[in-house]
Chains A and B, each alone.
Chain A
Amino acid sequence: MRKLLAVAARELRERWILFPASLASGFFPLVLPAFGVRRGDAAFVGVFGAASLAAAAAVVIGSSMLARDAADGRLGFLFSRPLPWGTIWGGKWLAALVLVVSSGILAAIPWTAAFPLSSLGGRHGDSWLRAALDGPGAAPLFVIVVLGVGLANFSATAFRSRSPWLVLDLVLLLAALWATRRYVAPLWLYGVLGKEQWSLTLALLLLALGLLVGSVAQVAVGRTDLRRAHRALSLAFWAVIGLSLAVAAGYWLWVRSAGPDAVRVHAVTRDAAGRWIYVEGSGPHRGWYPHGFLIDTTTGGYLARPGLDDGLERFAVGMLFSADGRFGALSGAAGGGAALKLLDLREAAPRVTEVRLESSPPPTWRTRFALSPSASSVFVVHESGASLYALPSGRRVATTTILPGWRPAAARYLAEGAARAWLVPSDDIPGARRARAEMRVVDLAVDGASSGTTFPLTAAIDPMSGLRAVLPDADGRRILTSDAGLHLRDGATGDLVASLVEGPGVIPALFLADGRIVVEGRGGDGEPPSAHPHLWVFDRVGTKLADFELPLGPCVLGTGPEVAPGRVVVSCFRSPFPSDASRVVDLASGGVVDTLPGLQPAVDFWGVPPTISTGAGPGAVHFFRDARHHVVRIDFATGERRVLTGPGAPRGERISAR
């Protein structure tokens, strides 16, 4: 210890000028009030100054304590004494840490004494020290000091050695940044490690540890030879960083390895025949990484969402399925624009094709996608335009501009080569939210023909519910709008066909395969007409056909899906509790013909149009979710029930995409 302190004292003695300089700089904030600067602002200048001085001290001593001494041939003085390398290393680091910390403290003494924290209305009593420790905390500050000194030492050693290892360092730095972006950033951004301070401290701690271990190797192995020291420093540092990144990558891969049997499913989309479903949900691990699986419901085999190159701040968009059931598409971003991962579902192992959509802006949560019935094109609507892209080339075949102040609410294909989008006023324009009781419809065809019509609404659509407030039917010929009631409108012009229900908010409704409309019945003031919920049935043009009182207590109804011609599932929600059972209601008699205990319809993704059925009627296969977030497949033709996903569900084989 005596020798270590002697080495440290020698280092401090060489740089003694920093002590009075730091103290002197601490008086600078005291003169600021004389120039009209408020005391609080002067104290802020003091904090900034002390931190800057400590950082500068870290750089100065970090870059000189080993690298400069080795380059100048001065390390030999210590190495030719009976000093273990640990004493030389420890003495140098001790001096560096003392110098950096004391520089900061000395620079803070004058102004903290002159401006007591209590006089500035601080929240930590009258103790600046307590404020510093309560704020960022002593441990993170210490780690940052070590980091500053270590980084300065690494940089100085690397550049002073002028060895080819510098190139390797730069290459490894790029590799480490890439690995961090790919494996560490998701852990943090998806909350797996938590976004709390400790996870950032842990990352900095590992970096500091790498620099410390590197400098140990630098002294123990490199000794007075700067090139050899650089090599030892690099190897040790990158070994620590590499090991840390490997652990992080392993953890991330483990997090992502969860299968459909482990996730709590939040949303489901399905193809027309009910063979394929795409689910997203949260895994058994901490965080909110959206696990996504394309599941073959006939075999239980599943494909994890292909590609990790999508944005980290990804939002759930669901999978689009072509009506013919041959293709699925996942939207995302690539190369600064929108992109699709097109999955050919004709084989047991889907073939994935990455399609970049020509001249498209990157998608946001407001962008709407629709896949043509045979997946020959995709319709993309964003706030500045709507375009049709040929698939699988991604070439833009038609486009039309969307005027400012609109955003897409829904998009549908009318036929293979023609698509339609419905727009609502953008809530980004101040004052436009409530004032604009209007909508706009835009048609676009692959031959480039386009048209747009603005039509009035009864009332402005609530921007918070805009995504659910516009419900087109399967072929886009009719729409239901929730604008102070539920209104049936012509899909092409927006002309009012009939007012179905009066009342505020989004009113649950369902288009049946035969064109009829099922709606939750309400009274004139928007309340249910009686203590029991009612189901109203309308024909294609909005003429009321039936009013059924359901044998349920007061609740908000959910309607759909249509599980057989004229038979719909009705769910009853009593906030905040989910439905305890769903009922199948026969619309001919109004009677409940089946009860599905503990099940409710699987929720689809917002903004994803339901796949258009090519059959004559509704499919018999439908998907439900239980309270434990299992997805249950029910074939209403045969009565077969099968659990597909969720904690403890049977796990099928993992499919590799081609």
Chain B
Amino acid sequence: MSAETTAAVAAAAGPALEMDGLTVSYGRARVIEGLTLAVPRGSVFALLGRNGAGKSSLLRVLLGQRPPAKGRVRLLGDDPWTRRTSLMARVGVVPEEPDAPPEMTPLALSALCGRLHSRWDAPAVAERFRRFEVPADRAFGRLSKGQKGAVMLALALGHGPELLLLDDPTLGLDVVARDAVFREVIGDLADRGTTAFVTTHDLRAIEGIADHVAILHGGRLALAGRLEALKAERGLSLEQLFASVAGTRAADGPVTEVRS
């Protein structure tokens, strides 16, 4: 077995996401400090935290859109800052704020993504548009918030990603739309074993699908582990766990909250 193959096997066996002493800062303001976390492959990992906890900033670092101030990040075994281009071929992203060009229709967006990705399943994307009841010939900017989220999810899954990063994907959605989003994620998981890393406030919705959970508070990791084990260990629901951890401020060290 060649060294390359050995490394590839080792990488494949490693976590989908790995953070080691990660610090994210904006100027002098530290948003996340010393975060160490590993997300197993094939898991649904929920990262919970209050507003300003640094979830979106962490997502930007994971996506290679800004470098960490300190520490190490590995996305599917690679550094996202230096290997962003190749990693994005294996990662699907649903941002908190839908960022697709507003003048393009969902079908045109799918066609554009088809030209940007080397592998693109346009019929599957179109099928998801239909399933989500998205008007595929209406400009993206004129869609409702729920429809935009659905389009972004369909586009994120169009190239069959190994890892799906969802940044508060149900924020502002009604119950029906929220359920549709998570159904789709679960369906994709079942089909391909995709790893899902979800940041959310929606504790009730995520409780049904997440198998791992971490809670960020004040820029630090307050709690992490398998969801069922944590619940059993403390005899609390996810909501109660979150309230017990994030309801008070972290004791050790000030971390400035910034709006990014």
Q: Mark B51-83, 1 if CB is under 8 A from A, else 0.
A: 000000000100111100000000000000000
Q: Which of B84, B86, B113 contacts A79 (CB 8 A)?
A: B84
Asked if A82 and B99 sit within 8 Å, CB to CB, the answer is no
Residue A84 at the chain B interface, CB threshold 8 Å:
yes
Contacts of A227 in B (CB 8 A): 26
Q: Which of A3, A13, A14 contacts B116 (CB 8 A)?
A: A3
Contacts of B64 in A (CB 8 A): 79, 223
Contacts of A3 in B (CB 8 A): 115-116
Cβ of A17 to closest chain B Cβ, rounded Å? 10
Residue B240 at the chain A interface, CB threshold 8 Å:
no
Q: Mark A60-90, 1 if CB is under 8 A from B, else 0.
A: 0000000000000111111111111000000
Residue B97 at the chain A interface, CB threshold 8 Å:
yes
Q: A10-B101, A80-B88 are in contact. Are A224 and B116 (CB under 8 A)?
A: no
Q: A6-B112, A73-B97 are in contact. Are A82 and B88 (CB under 8 A)?
A: yes
Q: Mark A69-113, 1 if CB is under 8 A from B, else 0.
A: 000011111111111100000000000000000000000000000
Asked if A224 and B60 sit within 8 Å, CB to CB, the answer is yes
Q: Mark B82-112, 1 if CB is under 8 A from A, else 0.
A: 0011111101010101011101100000001
Asked if A83 and B95 sit within 8 Å, CB to CB, the answer is no
Q: A77–B101 Cα gap in the complex (Å)?
A: 8
Contacts of A305 in B (CB 8 A): none
Contacts of B112 in A (CB 8 A): 6, 10
Contacts of B117 in A (CB 8 A): 81-82
Residue B118 at the chain A interface, CB threshold 8 Å:
yes
Q: Which of B66, B85, B100 contacts A82 (CB 8 A)?
A: B85
| CB under 8 Å from chain B, chain A span 1-23 | 2-3, 6-7, 10, 13-14
Contacts of A13 in B (CB 8 A): 103-104
Residue A539 at the chain B interface, CB threshold 8 Å:
no
Asked if A83 and B85 sit within 8 Å, CB to CB, the answer is yes
Q: Which of B65, B85, B87, B101 contacts A225 (CB 8 A)?
A: B65
Contacts of B99 in A (CB 8 A): 73-77
Residue A228 at the chain B interface, CB threshold 8 Å:
yes
Asked if A76 and B85 sit within 8 Å, CB to CB, the answer is no
Q: A79–B93 Cα gap in the complex (Å)?
A: 10
Q: A77–B108 Cα gap in the complex (Å)?
A: 14
Contacts of B87 in A (CB 8 A): 82
Q: A423–B171 Cα gap in the complex (Å)?
A: 88
Asked if B65 and A81 sit within 8 Å, CB to CB, the answer is no
Report the nearest B residue to A86, measured CB to CB: B85
Q: A13-B104, A76-B95, A224-B60 are in contact. Are A83 and B116 (CB under 8 A)?
A: yes
Asked if A82 and B63 sit within 8 Å, CB to CB, the answer is no
Cβ of A641 to closest chain B Cβ, rounded Å? 72
Report the nearest B residue to A221, measured CB to CB: B67
Asked if A81 and B88 sit within 8 Å, CB to CB, the answer is yes
Q: A476–B190 Cα gap in the complex (Å)?
A: 111
Asked if A74 and B113 sit within 8 Å, CB to CB, the answer is no
Q: A10-B112, A223-B66 are in contact. Are A73 and B95 (CB under 8 A)?
A: yes
Asked if B66 and A225 sit within 8 Å, CB to CB, the answer is yes
Q: Which of A14, A80, A82 contacts B101 (CB 8 A)?
A: A14
Asked if A14 and B103 sit within 8 Å, CB to CB, the answer is yes
Cβ of A346 to closest chain B Cβ, rounded Å? 59
Q: A6-B116, A81-B113, A223-B66 are in contact. Are A74 and B86 (CB under 8 A)?
A: no
Q: A56–B104 Cα gap in the complex (Å)?
A: 24
| CB under 8 Å from chain B, chain A span 314-363 | none
Contacts of A74 in B (CB 8 A): 99-101
Cβ of B95 to closest chain A Cβ, rounded Å? 6
Interface of A is mostly: helix
Cβ of A521 to closest chain B Cβ, rounded Å? 87
Cβ of A79 to closest chain B Cβ, rounded Å? 5
Q: Which of A10, A75, A83, A84 contacts B104 (CB 8 A)?
A: A10
Asked if A223 and B116 sit within 8 Å, CB to CB, the answer is no
Q: A258–B87 Cα gap in the complex (Å)?
A: 59
Q: A3-B116, A224-B65 are in contact. Are A84 and B85 (CB under 8 A)?
A: yes
Contacts of B116 in A (CB 8 A): 3, 6-7, 78, 81-83
Q: A77-B100, A225-B65 are in contact. Are A82 and B95 (CB under 8 A)?
A: no
Contacts of A2 in B (CB 8 A): 115
Contacts of B115 in A (CB 8 A): 2-3, 6
Asked if B101 and A228 sit within 8 Å, CB to CB, the answer is no
Asked if B118 and A82 sit within 8 Å, CB to CB, the answer is yes
Asked if B93 and A80 sit within 8 Å, CB to CB, the answer is yes
Contacts of B88 in A (CB 8 A): 79-83
Cβ of B138 to closest chain A Cβ, rounded Å? 16
Cβ of A68 to closest chain B Cβ, rounded Å? 12
Asked if B65 and A79 sit within 8 Å, CB to CB, the answer is yes
Q: A10–B115 Cα gap in the complex (Å)?
A: 11
Asked if B103 and A82 sit within 8 Å, CB to CB, the answer is no
Q: A556–B252 Cα gap in the complex (Å)?
A: 99
Contacts of B86 in A (CB 8 A): 82
Asked if B66 and A80 sit within 8 Å, CB to CB, the answer is no
Q: A534–B24 Cα gap in the complex (Å)?
A: 95
Q: A225–B91 Cα gap in the complex (Å)?
A: 20
Cβ of B141 to closest chain A Cβ, rounded Å? 11
Contacts of B60 in A (CB 8 A): 224-225
Report the nearest B residue to A78, measured CB to CB: B116
Cβ of A4 to closest chain B Cβ, rounded Å? 10
Contacts of A83 in B (CB 8 A): 85, 88, 116
Q: A82–B93 Cα gap in the complex (Å)?
A: 12
Contacts of A79 in B (CB 8 A): 63-65, 84, 88
Cβ of B207 to closest chain A Cβ, rounded Å? 27
Q: A75–B95 Cα gap in the complex (Å)?
A: 12
Report the nearest B residue to A2, measured CB to CB: B115
Asked if A76 and B65 sit within 8 Å, CB to CB, the answer is yes
Cβ of B92 to closest chain A Cβ, rounded Å? 8
Q: A224–B115 Cα gap in the complex (Å)?
A: 21
Contacts of A7 in B (CB 8 A): 116
Q: A224–B57 Cα gap in the complex (Å)?
A: 12
Contacts of B100 in A (CB 8 A): 74, 77
Q: A74–B115 Cα gap in the complex (Å)?
A: 18
Cβ of A334 to closest chain B Cβ, rounded Å? 44
Q: A13–B112 Cα gap in the complex (Å)?
A: 12
Q: A227–B259 Cα gap in the complex (Å)?
A: 13
Cβ of B60 to closest chain A Cβ, rounded Å? 7
Report the nearest A residue to B113, measured CB to CB: A81
Q: A82–B118 Cα gap in the complex (Å)?
A: 9
Report the nearest A residue to B100, measured CB to CB: A77
Q: A81–B110 Cα gap in the complex (Å)?
A: 12
Q: A301–B117 Cα gap in the complex (Å)?
A: 74
Q: A7–B104 Cα gap in the complex (Å)?
A: 13
Contacts of B63 in A (CB 8 A): 76, 79-80
Q: A13–B115 Cα gap in the complex (Å)?
A: 15
Contacts of A77 in B (CB 8 A): 99-101
Asked if B65 and A223 sit within 8 Å, CB to CB, the answer is yes
Cβ of B61 to closest chain A Cβ, rounded Å? 11
Contacts of A224 in B (CB 8 A): 60, 65-66
Q: Mark A176-220, 1 if CB is under 8 A from B, else 0.
A: 000000000000000000000000000000000000000000000
Contacts of A6 in B (CB 8 A): 112, 115-116
Q: A82–B63 Cα gap in the complex (Å)?
A: 11
List A residues at the B interface (Cβ < 8 Å).
2-3, 6-7, 10, 13-14, 73-84, 223-225, 227-228
Known: A6-B112, A81-B117, A225-B65. 20 other contacts (CB 8 A): A3-B115, A3-B116, A7-B116, A73-B95, A74-B101, A75-B99, A76-B65, A76-B99, A78-B116, A80-B93, A81-B88, A82-B85, A82-B89, A83-B116, A84-B85, A223-B64, A223-B65, A224-B60, A225-B60, A228-B66
Q: Can you list 30 A-B pairs, Cβ within 8 angstroms, ordered by A? A: A2-B115, A6-B112, A10-B112, A13-B104, A73-B95, A73-B99, A74-B99, A74-B101, A75-B99, A76-B65, A76-B99, A77-B100, A77-B101, A79-B65, A80-B63, A80-B88, A80-B91, A81-B117, A82-B85, A82-B88, A82-B117, A82-B118, A83-B85, A83-B88, A84-B85, A224-B60, A224-B65, A225-B65, A225-B66, A227-B26
